[in-house]
Amino acid sequence: DAGVTQSPTHLIKTRGQQVTLRCSPISGHKSVSWYQQVLGQGPQFIFQYYEKEERGRGNFPDRFSARQFPNYSSELNVNALLLGDSALYLCASSLWSRAEKLFFGSGTQLSVL
């Protein structure tokens, strides 16, 4: 079975632009979470979605938004990009909102110039 897939793998944007990152969870998984990993740091929680509803939100500005579709795939949108948004964005899926194990995708490396 395919794991968690994310697209694109790499992205270069300029300040002020908007970006959309995509995630397809493992088949049968209904929960998707997004994490931001700045170089040299541990991942930080951004959002969790379960059954198309937002279940949790981390300490990120309103420029960050997300949604989950009926097929459980998810998009993360970031508006008005700042240099500090440059990071690896990781998507993780699990069977339900409080599952034992999270499965991480390979991430999208976003560079903001």
Partner 1 sequence: ELKVEQNPLFLSMQEGKNYTIYCNYSTTSDRLYWYRQDPGKSLESLFVLLSNGAVKQEGRLMASLDTKARLSTLHITAAVHDLSATYFCAVDIRQGGSEKLVFGKGTKLTVNP
Nearer to partner 1, 17 or 66 (CB): 66
What's the CA gap between 73 and 51, in Å, rounded? 10
Taking residues 76 to 95 in sequence order and writing x for each that binds partner 1 by CB under 8 A, - otherwise, the string is: --------------x---x-
Cα torsion for 57, 60, 64, 67, to the nearest 10°? Answer: -10
The answer to the question of residue 60 lying near partner 1 (CB under 8 A) is no
Q: From its phi and psi, is residue 106 left (phi > 0), alpha (psi between -120 and 50) or beta?
A: alpha
Cross-strand partners of 93: 32, 103
- Judged by CB under 8 A, the residue of 42, 62, 70, 84 near partner 1 is 42
Q: Which residues bind partner 1 (CB under 8 A)?
A: 31, 33, 35, 40-45, 48, 50, 55-56, 58, 90, 94, 97-107, 109
